[in-house]
Structure 1
Amino acid sequence: MERKKLLSLILALLTAIMLSTAFASVFSYYPAQVSVAPTSPPVYFALGKNAGSSDLGSGNTITVRLGSNNVSAAITVHPTYQVTYYKNVTVIVNSDTKAYNVYIRVTSPITTLPTGSGSAIGTSPTSGMAKLYIYSKGASRSLTEFPTPAPSRSYIAVVDLTTTGTTYVGSLSGGGVYEIDIYIYIPEGASLQSSPLTASIMLIATPSSETLP
């Protein structure tokens, strides 16, 4: 009797092992398709009203180069000491009928802006500044404060080009346009560099309200 019980137990154990091995080796395959259907960019760069205009210095212009599909831009300006303000250099266009949340991310900031002794009038900052001021289409501009003027609060967002980070600009409605201005401050007494100072930024547009990756 004990032998029968032992044999039954061994058979049950072997059966369990065989079943577990069989289940561990079973794989189900279900077909699916992933289709990639490219579309024209709904949000893109375009030339601002003052792109190509005369800049400071002999032969210099406010240079804005756009990629062949308007989803990349290279901007060159030629500021001098104190505040130099460039109005409506480039714009962000939403050609879609729905709204997109727009962000600007500084991936590589300007870290070598010159420092100087400041102005002979009043108290001026001794460190340089480089910023983007973003406005709704056709918004008025006004620079206040003395002796270092800065834009008043009619802008919708400001992006500091001297530090990394992501700035939420706003919800750009279908057919809407954002205008981008450039603000540069170089203190007097600073040494002007012969090579350009460059910041790398990303324009991010999404119809979603999800957190950016």
Structure 2
Amino acid sequence: MHGKDRKPLAVIEEGAMILRGWALADAEPILFGVEQGLLQSGLRQMLTPGGKKMSVAMSNCGAWGWVSDRRGYRYVSKDPETGQPWPEIPAALFRIAQTAAAKAGFAHFIPDACLVNVYVPGARMSLHQDKDEQDMEAPIVSVSLGLPATFLFGGAERRDPVKRIDVEHGDVLVWGGPARLRYHGIAPIKMGDHPLLGARRMNLTLRKAR
């Protein structure tokens, strides 16, 4: 969807919604808060359990941080690289996540983890499920900043058909309930230059891990 075709709120399926431009007004304070946190826990390209380096650079903020290495996928309360707690979720981001979740029908969402993903042109995220969280009642809230992307939203099985959804700077996706374990990913990022982030896309994915 582009231009006049971009509806402010659009239901993808039961339990899944995109809120166009929902984070736009707060994009700069959110970005500032996240970048301050990255001074404490910097970006890194994690390894899959099979030993493959991911194309997306990652870090975390919140009480829990998602990590991947040869030991597997898991949440930890301290950054393995520093031994220190992860930085706090920026207040503006926390507020956006709560209001977007409520708008999508998930009241009282209290995220305790935020995965920071930074994509450069060519980087992608293969189809996967978010299933390392203990609390499956809470939704996933995904905030897009910087370069546009194509969000891939599949079904309950990896082989199910995939919807391709354009996401732009300030858009927020929410999925939970019957859509909570849908396979999803990001198609390779195209070349571009964004006023705030240059040739990068930042995705902030908020969850209730514990």
- TM-score category, normalised to shorter length: 0.3 to 0.5
**With structure 1 as the length reference, what TM-score do the two structures score?**
0.35
**With structure 2 as the length reference, what TM-score do the two structures score?**
0.35
